[in-house]
């Protein structure tokens, strides 16, 4: 087993680290405070291949592997979780499904602009009444005589929804078939019948714009059906498997940032005549942080490696996402506790890390759903 990274993997990690330190980190507090979408930074990431890391060069991407994606995501998330959310959606949820199931025309039309960072993509699965139960969707697409579909319904919690040019949409085309009646579509938000709701005021990842979207007699041509009719649920679940690697990477990044800030603090902060890092209780917390952080990274790299080898990675992605997200929440919690009052102050980035970490336990499958996925795959019981 070789734990060394290739030169190409280290190169893209270095590019992500440089942009994160020079552009993202200095502006993170501003974007968190205002909720302003970081379009300029996203453009820079796109120009450097980071909005389409696994996208082949012929479609405008960097043509790298899943390991490269993990390494880049960790660096971006360590600077600002909101930026990494936008990167994750573009890479994992938008481009990934189209590359796997889309036609050549769809790849050229929809993937290139997103991979190059010229446009923003989104993924529309969740609805107001259906979160974890994705099959309970009410958004409907009705086939017309000419092969097109008319879409009506709402989707909620759409990351990048307020700014997205293109969206991968999932709608019910045959309710009698349940999960097998769901179809995936490619949506251009500039066409009539598409409407955006208000931007959601969130606890964390505030620069990652999120909103509800609505379709009113929106017409999708037959050429914009992704995959085959009725294949939507399969596409969504496959995309989410890959997406969970991205969220695990994001969790590692924000946890690492909190851990590194804490390491510096316990060496400098003194109490009772010595650095607080010399006290056994503090040392125990540091040791546990380090173990959880390393375990999360190795589990995530395992899932990414399996994906890169075209092997099944559903369970491994869920294990990585569950472990990393809960580690991020625990590490940021302990980091705030160690910092005391300063950890609770908005004068430090630590409280932002704490707020941002929470979402990793929720989106792209809650921790509860990850446990179901893992246990069902292990036991074979439903």
Quote the pTM value.
0.96
Neighbouring-strand partners of residue 154: 214
Question: Does position 6 have pLDDT exceeding 80, yes or no?
Answer: yes
The DSSP code for 365 is S
Determine what percent of the chain is predicted with pLDDT higher than 70: 100
Q: Which residues partner with 142 through β-bridges? A: 150
List, in order of start, the domains of the chain with CATH numbers: 7-120 (1.10.540.10), 122-229 (2.40.110.10), 234-379 (1.20.140.10)
How far from each other are the two terminal CA atoms of the chain, in whole angstroms?
35
- Are the CB atoms for 95 and 115 separated by under 8 Å? yes
Tell me the two tokens of residue 148.
């097109």
Q: Is the pLDDT of residue 70 over 90?
A: yes
276 token code pair:
């607080």
- Name the band, by pLDDT with cuts 50, 70 and 90, for residue 1: confident
User: For residue 130, what pLDDT is reported?
Assistant: 82
Q: Does residue 131 register a pLDDT over 80?
A: no
User: Which residues are CB-neighbours of 1 under 8 A, at least 6 positions away?
Assistant: none
Q: Would you give the DSSP letter of residue 49? A: T
pLDDT band (50, 70, 90) for residue 134: confident
197-214 pLDDT tens trace: 999 999 999 999 999 999
Q: Which two tokens stand for residue 43?
A: 């453009």
pLDDT of residue 133: 82
Do the bridges between strand 121-124 and strand 166-172 make them parallel or antiparallel, or are there none, so unpaired? parallel
Model pLDDT, residue 129 = 86
Residues 6+ apart with CB under 8 A from 167: 121, 122, 123, 124, 158, 161, 186, 187, 189, 213
The residue-averaged pLDDT of 343-363 equals: 96
In percent, the amount of the chain with pLDDT more than 90 equals 96
**Long-range contact set of residues 368-371: C-beta below 8 Å, sequence gap at least 24:** 368/132, 369/132, 370/244, 370/318, 370/319, 370/321, 370/322, 371/322
Compute the distance between CA of residue 24 and CA of residue 53 in angstroms, rounded to an integer: 18
Catalytic residues: 364
- Round to whole Å and give the CA distance between 86 and 359: 13
Q: What average pLDDT is seen over the chain?
A: 96
Predicted confidence (pLDDT) at residue 76 exceeds the cutoff of 80: yes
Residue 23 has pLDDT above 90, yes or no: yes
């Amino acid at each position: 087993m070789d734990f060394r990274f290739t030169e190409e993997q280290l190169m893209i990690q270095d590019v992500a680290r440089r942009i994160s330190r020079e552009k993202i980190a200095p502006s993170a507090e501003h974007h968190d405070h205002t909720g302003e979408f970081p379009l300029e930074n996203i453009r820079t990431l796109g120009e450097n291949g980071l909005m389409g890391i696994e996208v082949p060069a012929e479609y405008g991407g960097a043509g790298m592997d899943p390991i490269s994606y993990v390494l880049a995501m960790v660096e971006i998330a360590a600077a600002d979780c909101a930026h990494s959310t936008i990167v994750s959606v573009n890479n994992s949820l938008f481009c990934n499904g189209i590359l796997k199931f889309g036609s050549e025309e769809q790849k050229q039309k929809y993937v290139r602009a997103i991979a190059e960072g010229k446009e923003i993509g989104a993924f529309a699965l969740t609805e107001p009444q259906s979160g974890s139960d994705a099959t309970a969707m009410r958004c409907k697409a009705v086939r017309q005589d000419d092969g097109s579909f008319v879409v009506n319904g709402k989707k909620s919690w759409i990351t990048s929804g307020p700014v997205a040019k293109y969206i991968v949409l999932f709608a019910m085309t045959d309710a009698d078939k349940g999960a097998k009646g769901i179809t995936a579509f490619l949506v251009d938000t500039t066409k009539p019948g598409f409407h955006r709701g208000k931007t959601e005021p969130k606890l964390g990842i505030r620069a990652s714009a999120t909103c509800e979207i609505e379709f009113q007699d929106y017409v999708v041509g037959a050429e914009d059906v992704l995959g085959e009719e009725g294949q939507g649920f399969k596409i969504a679940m496959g995309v989410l498997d890959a997406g969970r690697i991205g969220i695990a990477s994001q969790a590692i990044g924000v946890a690492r940032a909190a851990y590194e800030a804490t390491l510096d603090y316990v060496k400098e902060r003194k109490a009772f005549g010595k650095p607080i890092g010399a006290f056994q209780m503090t040392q125990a917390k540091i040791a546990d942080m380090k173990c959880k952080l390393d375990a999360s990274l190795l589990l995530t790299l395992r899932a990414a490696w399996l994906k890169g080898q075209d092997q099944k990675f559903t369970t491994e992605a869920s294990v990585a996402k569950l472990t990393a997200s809960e580690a991020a929440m625990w590490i940021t919690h302990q980091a705030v506790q160690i910092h005391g009052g300063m950890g609770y102050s908005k004068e430090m980035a630590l409280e932002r890390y704490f707020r941002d970490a929470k979402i990793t336990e929720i989106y792209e499958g809650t921790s509860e759903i990850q446990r179901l996925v893992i246990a069902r795959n292990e036991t074979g019981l439903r």
